[in-house]
Amino acid sequence: MASILHELVTMFIFIAYVFMVTTEYSLGVAALKVQCIDSEQKALQNFKEGFHSHLDRFSSWVPEEDCCKWRGVRCENETGHVITLDLHSSDSSEAMQGQLRESLLDLPYLSYLDLSLNDFLQIQIPEFIGSLSRLKYLNLSNANFRGTIPDQLGNLSHLVSLDLSGNGYSLRVNNLNWLYHLSPLKFLDLSGVDLSNSVNWLDAINMLSSLIELNLFACKLHNLPQSLPRVNLTSLKILDLSFNSLNGTIPDWLFEIDQSLVFLYLRRNHLYGTIPEEAFGNMSSLDVLDLSENNLEGPIPTTLSMISEQNQSKEFSSLRELYLYHNQLNGSLQKILPKLSRIHVLDVSWNSLEGVVTDAELLDFSNLQVLDFSGNNLTLNVSSSWAPSFQLERIGLNSCKLGPQFPQWLRTQKHFSAIDISMNGISDAVPDWFWNLSSKIRHVNLSSNVLTGTVPDLSSKIKLSTIDLSLNKLSGPLPLLSSSISKVFLAGNSFSGPIFRLCEMLKVNNSVRYLDVSNNTLSGQIPDCWTHGKNLVILNLASNNLAGKIPESIGDLLQLNSLRFDHNGLTGKIPSSMKKCTSLIVLDLGQNRLSGEIPEWIGENLLKLMILGLSSNAFKGHIPVQVCLLESLKILDLSSNYLSGEIPRCVDNFKAMAERETVRSYIYDPYTAYIEDSSN
């Protein structure tokens, strides 16, 4: 009894205490409650009126409410001044359109302004932004600004973070001298701003000694100074200069940022020369190095691997990702591999590396996720019972001499989304287990081997986007594929049977762009299911045993650049629905048994044609003069038909035929060469 009473008393005291604390707390808040300042509320109201779409973001902006509670607004907790205005959209569908009103100047304490992902309709960044003198954070990225960035931004001497990226090349600068006064800047992103006029860009950047992250991706930079008198950028962790035209050798000043740099991206520039032998060895913090798509030559220096060697006690600070693809690096990997065992991404594809890599050398690579040796002169020589310690996400082993047996170790890899083992001299059946691909699979390239066997139903692989099995000895029916597929290359095999299975993937909302099943032994009719082929760019059914008529729905392939039905047994007339295929550049119906007259609309409608092949058919009548309207024509083959009458005199219209320079690419591969060029 006494103990219950005691508990009750304790509880009462506790409740009383909570009550007191609560009261005190609410009183405290009341005492500190700040109200929005009238002039600032009016300024915000006026700023809002500059916008005219997607205004739901302003639903909480009611005049009766304290503006410090409006969505996207924050006030200083003691004075009530507006310090934050965050009106960024989450994506472009939500973007507000409008002006950027000067009423912002009536928010004199504004220190954080984010208007990213809105649509300012190609106006210039207004000069008055430079008068928001307390700004620390300014984000005008992806907001459709154009014109010259005003020098007045250089007045924002408290700025810590400036992001003007993602406005296309519509934004430009005359120079970057305005950066000179922004010494507190830690984050600068000018990606996509045209900086080509800024010859001294690096001198300006080098004034920013607090800089931690610098993104100058795709800025049309071309001038790459080799050295700086003194490198100020000693805090820099992220440096992205990818997708510029930087022309020079890897500059010395980079290596003076050595202790801090974690991410270094120099992809797709015009860097040449060798990778300096010593230099990278001092970059002890480097995590990601991307030097791909340059003209670098010589060996991969062993110092690259020292980055991780020196730092083995700390896993986070060792080199995790190394991208060197598309250069002219040579030599072997023998010296560097043993030291890279902690790496996650090793992409040295499309260089001139040579030598043999064995399973023993890859023994410790348990973190490896991306292995890309493609396009070198490397040999991957592993035992048939090899069970690697890694699970790869991407496997790039084009021309690594993996054959003649199908590589058994691939059976241990369960999660890869991309595999390229083309050109490996594999002369074997594709084992059943191989087709047990993970549901993550996106890209499969087994082309140019001597693979045999049949291909099972792959329609459950709903992420599969490219499949290239061409130039093998695969047989059986065409594989079933899901409508997510974009590029299908099955040419040069022994696939047989009807092709109506292709219709399975041409459902509503399919993604099919390239479809090449040429040079197989497919038979039956061409199915009439092309209505949903609106994305098809290349359709190649040439060199099969197809018979019957060309179906009407071919006319629905409005994006089609190349149509090849040649070397089959097709009969009937060219359907007039094809006059809608006005994007055609290549049309080859040669070596069939087509009849009727050559339609006049070919010349009137298919004005982009460069190759027209109608040879070895049963066409009769005369050559329509409208053919002369095809001014881009380079190859016109009407031979071996029953044509009569005169050759039209207007053939002197065929000006493109007289141009010499492109002829070589047609000799190499008349049909795909042009398409590849035009899609770049």
Ligand X SMILES: *[C@@H]1O[C@H](CO)[C@@H](O)[C@H](O)[C@H]1NC(C)=O
- The answer to whether 632 contacts ligand X (rule: CB under 6 A) is no
Judged by CB under 6 A, which stretch of 102-110, 432-440, 446-454, 505-513 contacts ligand X?
Answer: 432-440
Answer whether the bond into residue 63 is a cis peptide, omega within 30°. Answer: no
Using alpha carbons only, give the angle 540, 543, 546 rounded to the nearest 5 degrees.
85
Which residue in 612, 585, 606, 589 sits closest to 675, CA to CA? 585
Q: Write down the least CB distance from residue 381 to ligand X, Å.
A: 4
The number of beta carbons lying within 10 Å of the beta carbon of residue 20 is: 10
Residue 1 host element (H or E):
none
The residue to which tokens 């050398």 are assigned: 361
- The answer to whether 457 contacts ligand X (rule: CB under 6 A) is no
- The answer to whether 198 contacts ligand X (rule: CB under 6 A) is no
- The answer to whether 17 contacts ligand X (rule: CB under 6 A) is no
Q: Write down the least CB distance from residue 615 to ligand X, Å.
A: 15
- The answer to whether 115 contacts ligand X (rule: CB under 6 A) is no
Structure tokens at 432: 């059943």
- The answer to whether 282 contacts ligand X (rule: CB under 6 A) is yes
- The answer to whether 54 contacts ligand X (rule: CB under 6 A) is no
**Contact (Cβ atoms closer than 8 angstroms) between residue 156 and residue 183:** no
Tell me the DSSP string of 348-402. --SSEEEEEEEGGGGTT-TT--EEE-TTSEEEEE--TT---S---SEEE-TTS--
Structure tokens at 404: 């003649």
Q: Write down the least CB distance from residue 445 to ligand X, Å.
A: 18
Judged by CB under 6 A, which stretch of 91-99, 205-213, 365-373, 614-622 contacts ligand X?
Answer: 205-213
Q: Write down the least CB distance from residue 102 to ligand X, Å.
A: 15
Structure tokens at 448: 């140019």
Q: Write down the least CB distance from residue 289 to ligand X, Å.
A: 15
Residue selected from 67, 75, 104, 116 as contacting ligand X according to rule CB under 6 A: 116
- The answer to whether 184 contacts ligand X (rule: CB under 6 A) is no
Q: Write down the least CB distance from residue 205 to ligand X, Å.
A: 9
The number of beta carbons lying within 10 Å of the beta carbon of residue 389 is: 13
Please give the single-letter amino acid code of residue 320.
Answer: R
Size of the site for ligand X (CB under 6 A): 51
Instruction: Tell me whether residue 40 or residue 163 sits nearer to ligand X (CB atom).
Output: 163
Residue selected from 41, 118, 141, 615 as contacting ligand X according to rule CB under 6 A: 141
Judged by CB under 6 A, which stretch of 306-314, 343-351, 443-451, 558-566 contacts ligand X?
Answer: 306-314
Please give the single-letter amino acid code of residue 7.
Answer: E
Judged by CB under 6 A, which stretch of 281-289, 339-347, 523-531, 627-635 contacts ligand X?
Answer: 281-289
Who contacts 475 (Cβ-Cβ below 8 Å, separation ≥6)? 452, 453, 454, 493, 494, 495, 496
Which residue in 229, 288, 233 sits closest to 259, CA to CA? 233
CA pair distance 335, 331, nearest whole angstrom:
10
- The answer to whether 48 contacts ligand X (rule: CB under 6 A) is no
- The answer to whether 482 contacts ligand X (rule: CB under 6 A) is no
Which residue in 623, 569, 622, 573 sits closest to 591, CA to CA? 569
- The answer to whether 531 contacts ligand X (rule: CB under 6 A) is no
Residue selected from 167, 191, 269, 285 as contacting ligand X according to rule CB under 6 A: 285
Q: Write down the least CB distance from residue 600 to ligand X, Å.
A: 31
**Contact (Cβ atoms closer than 8 angstroms) between residue 341 and residue 315:** no
- The answer to whether 475 contacts ligand X (rule: CB under 6 A) is no
- The answer to whether 196 contacts ligand X (rule: CB under 6 A) is no
Q: Write down the least CB distance from residue 386 to ligand X, Å.
A: 11
Who contacts 306 (Cβ-Cβ below 8 Å, separation ≥6)? 280, 281, 339
Structure tokens at 569: 């047994």
- β-strands 137-139, 147-148: how paired? unpaired
The interface with ligand X within residues 641-670 (CB under 6 A) comprises none
Judged by CB under 6 A, which stretch of 12-20, 274-282, 570-578, 593-601 contacts ligand X?
Answer: 274-282
Which residue in 382, 374, 378 sits closest to 410, CA to CA? 382
Residue selected from 48, 81, 88, 532 as contacting ligand X according to rule CB under 6 A: 88
Q: Which residues bind ligand X (CB under 6 A)?
A: 32, 77-78, 88, 116-117, 130, 139, 141-142, 151-152, 154-155, 161, 163, 183, 187, 206-207, 209, 229-230, 232, 247, 255, 270, 278-279, 282, 284-285, 297-298, 310-311, 314, 317, 330-331, 354, 356, 377, 379, 381, 432-433, 436, 492, 519, 543
